[in-house]
Structure 1
Amino acid sequence: MRLFLIPISTGRTLIYCKRLDAAVPAKQLSYLDRITNKATATWAKWETAEKGWQKTLVTYGHRALQRIPYEEWGLKSVPPLSSRRETEELRTKKPVELLYPKNAIQTSKVLGLLQKLATERQQLHRKRMWWSIVVAPLTAPFALVPVIPNIPFFFFCYRGWSHWRAWGGSKHLEFLLKENLIQPRSLADLENVYLRHYPHSEGAKTTDEKATAECADGHCEEVMLLKDTDGRALAKMLDAPELVAEVERAVHQVEQQLKRPDQTKKPDQKEADEKNDEKNDEKR
């Protein structure tokens, strides 16, 4: 696998993992992977519906998916840590390449930033995973509704799986850092993307220095480093098609957050707000 650090703004960065291993034969897939593939195929089929409850479900489903924090999507892209994977990585000691733009992230702070991204949401995903697992069986009465599937049940199952994947991905990153299996490397093509938005900096300023330059009277203004249109260019450059949606989602969410007057909230306050947002989504 290969890791990417994609700065979205002067204060927020997207972590994304590209899988490099060859396709695994269906017979070798785990039971959970088979269920996931089946669910993906079913959803893709519903997306082709022109009307009916499938079309309505897909429409509202996409809106709900877009509200899932980009940090969760990024961690989900990292394969969850398993005993087999841990044993294999300890045996081979093969380093995982981490690509980043050195004109947007100081080289000396790359591993520290990755450590933060790997650990700051671990407990959040763990708690929400168990909460979803506990709540899912309580939606059983909805199965009595004819024709339409038990949507609440599948929703909580998906959220539980999503949080499990994000939690597993964060544990994997933490393990790689602990074993010194991360190999950072600045990519010139990535640097050029950020130079297009800051042509006068000539790559001299990092995001930290840009953020400092925006500070006045003790107040620091966070600024965007990417536009949603950069997603396609980055995906093509890094040969990672899924990165289009990841970047577009991250840019949109960060832009919305920066428009809020409470953007300077502390991490624990932001976590509480995220939980309230998720509860509101479930009520909808």
Structure 2
Amino acid sequence: HDSIYVLSIPITTYKSYIYCNHKPSILDKSQKSKFPLVTKIETKVTGIAAKGWNSLSTSKKSYNVKITNFIKKLLNTIPYEENCLKSFPSQTAMIREINEESLDEGTASAVVSSQIDDLNIPHHQIKPIPLLHPSFQQPTTILNQLYNFRDNAHSKHFKYAVLCGVGIPLSLPFALVPVVPNVPGFYIAYRFYCHVKALLGVKHLNYLLEVEPKRELAASQEDPKVKLETITDEKAILDTKHLSFKERVIISEKIIDDLCSEFSMDYLKDDLLKALKQESARLSKNLKVDDAVE
């Protein structure tokens, strides 16, 4: 099923775009009813927001076009690491797969995590979550980046979530302006949502890293469906492999296009292009790995 896996796509010789690919769509209707209420509400609200954004972004009215372009510029300044964190689902909403030898006839091979105890499924019968990465990447390198996400992201996102929470009511007067949408209010509310989701992502990631990480995450560099060795600039890797202090970009727009096309991951294309742009800008400014690019 590949219902859930963690994917590491190297952007530079030191940093990767790390994404948790989670597919609730493989569940049947009765299983989806087991999702936590908060998850169901969030799905509905984000669906409504997506329709509103689609309506605004496809509008031909000149002021809507200008607003859309302005919002897109703002969105491009958001650090790509946020979406990495946001991609990790809550422990109770994770889809987990059961070892085939442990399946009874008629038993679903994938379940919502909240069902595991109800169905009396022993944890040793649950498949670990695959960690897919190129063969030149050490699993420990990826795990270290995940630990860094967890340890450094919480205070930053908590601070900005509070600031955005304060800013939302302050933006309400803009809603009184006729015709033009309350862009400041919408954007601040969206950023509040992003920071809260990132904070939850830290919590969800912590579960994978702290609750027997060797059992929950299983490195898989030779997955037959994802030959990740082809997605980076091999020459750049070889040029820098012996220079541990030298960091370089090892992905390109063409590689991103090929990757997304070959593995049907168009939904990651914008994020990967953003990661490429932001990491290139950081390296051009000679910033350290943990520094953000404004």
Q: Distance in 2 between matches of 1:169 and 1:90?
A: 21
Name the one with the larger helix percent: 1
Q: Distance in 1 between matches of 2:46 and 2:133?
A: 30
SS state at 1:233 partner: helix
Compute the TM-score of the two structures, normalised by the length of structure 2.
0.76
Q: CA deviation at 1:56?
A: 1.1
Q: Match of 1:254? A: 279
Structure 2 residue 135 is matched with structure 1 residue 102: yes
Q: Distance in 1 between matches of 2:14 and 2:93?
A: 35
Q: CA deviation at 1:264?
A: 3.3
Q: Distance in 2 between matches of 1:108 and 1:2?
A: 17
- Give the conservation status (yes or no) of the 8 Å contact 2:164–2:189: yes
RMSD: 2.9
Structure 2 residue 41 is matched with structure 1 residue 31: yes
Alignment of 1:234-245 (within 5 A): 234-245=259-270
Q: Match of 1:52? A: 62
Percent sequence identity over aligned pairs: 25
Alignment-mate amino acid for residue 99 of structure 1: L
Q: Distance in 2 between matches of 1:264 and 1:115?
A: 17
Q: Match of 1:145? A: 177
Among 165, 169, 182, the alignment partner of 2:217 is 182
Structure 2 residue 230 is matched with structure 1 residue 198: no
Alpha carbons of structure 1 residues 184 and 118: separation in structure 2 relative to 1, 3 Å:
farther
Alpha carbons of structure 1 residues 39 and 139: separation in structure 2 relative to 1, 3 Å:
same
Structure 2 residue 267 is matched with structure 1 residue 264: no
Q: CA deviation at 1:243?
A: 1.6
- Give the conservation status (yes or no) of the 8 Å contact 1:139–1:153: yes
Q: CA deviation at 1:44?
A: 0.9
- Where structure 2 has 5 or more consecutive residues not aligned to the other structure, the ranges are 95-111
Structure 2 residue 14 is matched with structure 1 residue 16: no
Among 71, 81, 91, the alignment partner of 1:71 is 81
SS state at 2:281 partner: helix
SS state at 2:266 partner: coil
Alpha carbons of structure 1 residues 247 and 4: separation in structure 2 relative to 1, 3 Å:
same
Alpha carbons of structure 1 residues 6 and 199: separation in structure 2 relative to 1, 3 Å:
closer
Number of aligned residue pairs: give it: 254
- Give the conservation status (yes or no) of the 8 Å contact 1:132–1:156: yes
Among 221, 236, 239, the alignment partner of 2:246 is 221
- Give the conservation status (yes or no) of the 8 Å contact 1:76–1:166: yes
- Give the conservation status (yes or no) of the 8 Å contact 1:3–1:16: yes
Q: Match of 2:109? A: none
Alpha carbons of structure 1 residues 233 and 135: separation in structure 2 relative to 1, 3 Å:
same
Q: Distance in 1 between matches of 2:279 and 2:143?
A: 22
- Give the conservation status (yes or no) of the 8 Å contact 1:234–1:243: no
Alignment-mate amino acid for residue 130 of structure 2: E
Deviations 1:235-266 (A, max 9, x none): 234432212112111001111111114x138x
Alignment-mate amino acid for residue 18 of structure 1: N
- Where structure 1 has 5 or more consecutive residues not aligned to the other structure, the ranges are 278-284
Q: Match of 1:280? A: none
Alignment-mate amino acid for residue 288 of structure 2: T
- Give the conservation status (yes or no) of the 8 Å contact 1:97–1:182: yes
Alignment-mate amino acid for residue 102 of structure 1: S
Deviations 1:186-240 (A, max 9, x none): 146101323x532894xxx9xxxx36x336xxxx331111112222222234432
SS state at 1:102 partner: coil
Q: Distance in 2 between matches of 1:89 and 1:130?
A: 34
SS state at 2:132 partner: strand
Q: CA deviation at 1:63?
A: 0.8
Q: Distance in 1 between matches of 2:24 and 2:179?
A: 40
